Structure 1
Amino acid sequence: MKTRYSYGGDEHIFVEMDEEMSLDAFFKALFITNAVRDAKIKGVTEICPANASMQIKFDPDVIKPADMLSELKKFESVAEKAEPVIKTRIIEIPVYYNDPWTHETLMRFRERHQDPKSTDIEYAARINNLDGPDGFIKAHSGAPWFVSMVGFVAGLPFLYQMVDRQRQIEAPKYLRPRTDTPKLTIGHGGCFGCIYSVRGAGGYQMFGITPMPIYDPNQKISYLRDFMCLFKPGDIVKWKPIDRAQYDATVADVDAGKFAPLMRNVTFSLADFHKDIDASNRKLNEVLHGH
C-alpha cells in the first residue's frame, strides 16, 4: 500500500503507512514522527505515533496545511532510505497468569464471550492450536513484544509480538465489552497485547495480571517519578511468568518503594530481526539478563 495522507479538519494530518500492522510500517511512522519532533517545525502542536500510522496536529495560522503536508512527504522519502535501527529499552514485566482477580472478572462476563464454557486463556490456547494454558503461557512469554503505541487510556501500551506472522497469537475481543477489568490486567485483542493501566471497561481477552505499576499520575512510585507513564513507542517488553508468592512479594516491594524493574538499553535493528527472528530475540534476552 502506498502511504495515505488525509486532512482532519483544518489542523490535523493523518498518515496511514499500511492497512495492516507490521514492524516495517511502525518503524516508518516512528522515523517520521521523530524527524518532525527533531525538526521543531513552527506551528506543530502535537505528534501522535500509532501502530501503523501517525497524526500531526498543527496551527494553520502558523503553517498552512499544504506546507505541513509537503514537509511530511519530505520526511517520508528520507524514511524510505534510512537504516531501520533504534536505540531503545527492553523491560521485563512479571505476569501472574491465571490469577484469581481476572478469573473472577471473566467468570462474571461469560455471557459476553465467544466460549462461555472456558476461560479466556483456555479459549485463546485452543484457537491458536496451543497445548492448553501451559502451552499458551510458554508461547505468550517466550518471545519479546514491541510497544507500538501508548494511549486509549493514559499509559496503556499496545504490544506487537515479535515472531513471524504464523506464530503470532491472535484472539478476538469479547462479543460485547465488559464493564470491568482489573488494573494491570494483561489483555489481548486481534494481534495486539496490552496492559490495562487503570481499572475500567474493556473487551480484550484477559490472561493474567502484573504486580508492576505502569502508570502513576502522582509520580510517587520510584521508577515513575520522572514521568507518570512507563512506556513509549519503540520499547520492548519481555514477560516473566511468576506465581502467587512472587506476585505478593513484588506488590510488597512496590508498596515499600523497593521494587526496581529489570530494564536495559538496547540497539534494535529491524534488518537483523528479519534476517533471523529467533537469533535476534535471543540476543535481546541476553542483553536483558546481562549475558
Structure 2
Amino acid sequence: MGVRYSFGGDEHLFVECSEEMSLDAFFKSLSMSGGVRDSGIRGVTEICPANASLQVKFDPDVISPDDILKEVKAIEQAAEKAEPVIHTRIVEIPVFYNDPWTHETLMRFRERHQDPSGTDLDYAARINDYGSVDDFVAAHSGSPWFVSMVGFVAGLPFMYQMVERQRQIQVPKYLRPRTDTPKLTVGHGGCFGCIYSVRGAGGYQMFGITPMPIFDPTQTTSYLRDFMVFFRPGDIVKFKAIGRDAYDQAVEDVAGGRFAPPIREVSFDLREFRRDIDGYNAKLEGVLNGN
C-alpha cells in the first residue's frame, strides 16, 4: 500500500506508512517525523512517531487541515528520496532472565496463558523451535533491537529485532491480560519486545527483568536528570544476560548514583545492514564495546 492519510478529529493528522511492521516502514515513519519537525510548519504542536506510522497534532486556528495535509505530503516525497541513514545511539541493557520476580508473577497467572504447564520462556523457546531456554535467551540477547516507538505507558519502548524476518522471535500475547507485571520486566508480544517502565497490567510474555530504570518522573536517577524518559525512537538496544549477583550490584549502583548504561553514538545505514545483517550487527556490537 501507499502512504495513507486520515484525520483524527479537528487537530490530528494520522499518517500510515504501511499496514505491517518492517524496517522500511519504520525508517519512512522516522524520516517523515524528522522532516515535519525540521520544517517548522506553523501550527504544528506535536509529532508522535510509531512503529510504521506517525501522528501530527496541529492547531486548526493556525493552519487548515487541507494545508497541513499538503505540507506533510511534500515531506513524504522528500523522504522517499532521502538516504536510509540515521544518526542514533546504541545502548547495552542488562537483563536477568528467568528471574524470581517475573517467575512468581507468571505462575500466578497461568490460567491466562496458552501453556499453563510451563513458563513464558519455556513456551517461547518451544514455539520458536529452540532446543532449550538457554538457546532462546542466546538468540534474544544475541542480536540488537531497534526502538521503533515509545509510549502506551510513559517511557515504554517497543523494540523490533534486527534479524531476517524468518529469524525474528514471534510469541503471541497472553490469552487474557494479567493484572500485574513487575516494573522493568523485559517482555514480548507478536514481533515486538518491550520493557515495562512501570508496574501494572500487561499481556506480553515475561522473559526477565532489568535493573536499569528507563523512566523516572522525579529525575533523580543519575542518567535521567535531563529528561525523565530514557528511550527515543531510533535507539538501538543490545541486551546482555546477567546473573543474580550482577543484578543485585546494578540495583545497588543505581541507588547510589553510580550506574551508567554503556551508550555509543552510531550511524546506521539500512542498505549496508541488508547486505550483511550478521556482519553489520557484529560491527554495531564492536562500536558498543569500544572496538
TM-score of the aligned structures, taking structure 1 as reference length: 0.99
Show the counterpart of 2:278.
278
Show the counterpart of 2:163.
163
For 2:77, what is the secondary structure of its paired residue?
A: helix
Q: How far apart are the structure 2 equivalents of 1:87 and 1:22? A: 19
For 2:193, what is the secondary structure of its paired residue?
A: strand
**Cα distance, 1:10 vs. partner?**
1.3
- The letter for the 2-side match of 1:135 is D
Alignment pair present for 1:184 and 2:177: no
**Cα distance, 1:247 vs. partner?**
0.3
Show the counterpart of 1:47.
47
Q: How far apart are the structure 2 equivalents of 1:34 and 1:82? A: 12
- The letter for the 1-side match of 2:105 is T
**Cα distance, 1:9 vs. partner?**
1.3
**Cα distance, 1:194 vs. partner?**
0.1
- The letter for the 2-side match of 1:63 is I
For 1:56, what is the secondary structure of its paired residue?
A: strand
Moved over 6 A (4+): none
Show the counterpart of 1:147.
147
Aligned pairs for 1:199-278 within 5 A = 199-278=199-278
Q: How far apart are the structure 1 equivalents of 2:135 and 2:278? A: 18
Unaligned runs of 5+ in 2: none
Show the counterpart of 2:93.
93
Count the aligned residue pairs: 291
Q: How far apart are the structure 1 equivalents of 2:271 and 2:226? A: 33
Q: How far apart are the structure 2 equivalents of 1:241 and 1:54? A: 33
Identical-residue share of aligned pairs (%)? 72
Q: How far apart are the structure 2 equivalents of 1:43 and 1:131? A: 55
Alignment pair present for 1:12 and 2:12: yes
Unaligned runs of 5+ in 1: none
**Cα distance, 1:132 vs. partner?**
1.6
Q: How far apart are the structure 2 equivalents of 1:224 and 1:132? A: 37
Q: Deviations over 1:106-159 (max 9, x none)?
A: 000000000000100000000000122101101100000000000000000000
Q: How far apart are the structure 2 equivalents of 1:235 and 1:213? A: 16
- The letter for the 2-side match of 1:83 is E
Q: How far apart are the structure 2 equivalents of 1:279 and 1:63? A: 47
Q: Deviations over 1:194-252 (max 9, x none)?
A: 00000000000000000000110000011000110000000000000000000000000
Q: Deviations over 1:156-192 (max 9, x none)?
A: 0000000000000000000000000000000000000
**Cα distance, 1:275 vs. partner?**
1.1
For 1:111, what is the secondary structure of its paired residue?
A: helix
Q: How far apart are the structure 2 equivalents of 1:152 and 1:175? A: 19
Q: How far apart are the structure 1 equivalents of 2:131 and 2:4? A: 41
For 2:268, what is the secondary structure of its paired residue?
A: strand
Q: How far apart are the structure 1 equivalents of 2:78 and 2:29? A: 12
**Cα distance, 1:269 vs. partner?**
0.4
Q: Deviations over 1:251-274 (max 9, x none)?
A: 000001111110100000011111
Show the counterpart of 1:193.
193
Q: How far apart are the structure 2 equivalents of 1:65 and 1:11? A: 8
Show the counterpart of 1:66.
66
**Cα distance, 1:39 vs. partner?**
1.2
Q: How far apart are the structure 1 equivalents of 2:217 and 2:67? A: 37
Show the counterpart of 1:3.
3
For 1:123, what is the secondary structure of its paired residue?
A: helix
- The letter for the 2-side match of 1:70 is K
Q: How far apart are the structure 1 equivalents of 2:50 and 2:141? A: 24
Q: Deviations over 1:56-114 (max 9, x none)?
A: 01011110101100111101111111001011000000000000000000000000000
For 1:229, what is the secondary structure of its paired residue?
A: coil
Q: How far apart are the structure 1 equivalents of 2:86 and 2:229? A: 20
Alignment pair present for 1:174 and 2:193: no
TM-score of the aligned structures, taking structure 2 as reference length: 0.99
Q: How far apart are the structure 2 equivalents of 1:171 and 1:52? A: 20
Q: How far apart are the structure 1 equivalents of 2:117 and 2:105? A: 14
Q: How far apart are the structure 2 equivalents of 1:190 and 1:132? A: 20
